[in-house]
């Protein structure tokens, strides 16, 4: 599972590996899988603030066999900091 932040205020990679699980799914079948992502895994280091920052907004979650795969399944997740 890869996570990206298309509208980030800082330069980031388009997709970062944030979790994985190796599963074998027979043809014409499906399965459910839970891959937890901690909020601290989404932070970046801000050199001006001398600390880690969690940027709120839309994150894109992508699932597929490889980061080079062009047709990853994508969904958007909204993150609001309270």
What pTM was computed for the model?
0.80
Question: Scanning the structure block, which residue is given the tokens 């499906």?
Answer: 30
On whether the 2-27+36-79 domain is CATH 3.40.800.20, my answer is: no
DSSP annotation of 55 reads P
CA atoms lying within 13 Å on the CB side of residue 36: 3
HSE-CB for 47 with a 13 A CA cutoff: 2
Q: Quick one: pLDDT band at residue 68, thresholds 50, 70, 90?
A: confident
Secondary element (H or E) of residue 3: strand 2-4
* Domain chopping of the chain, boundaries: 2-27+36-79
Are 20 and 35 in contact by the 8 Å Cβ rule? The answer is yes
Give per-residue pLDDT as tens, 17-57.
Answer: 999 998 888 999 988 888 999 999 999 999 999 999 999 99
Across the chain, which distance is largest between two alpha carbons, in Å?
Answer: 51
């Amino acid at each position: 599972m890869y996570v990206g932040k298309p509208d980030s205020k800082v330069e980031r990679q388009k997709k970062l590996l944030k979790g994985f699980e190796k599963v074998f799914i027979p043809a014409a079948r499906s399965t459910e899988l839970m891959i937890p992502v901690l909020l601290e895994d989404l932070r970046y280091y801000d050199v001006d603030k001398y600390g880690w920052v969690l940027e709120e907004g839309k994150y894109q979650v992508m699932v597929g066999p490889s980061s080079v795969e062009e047709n990853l399944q994508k969904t958007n997740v909204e993150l609001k900091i309270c």
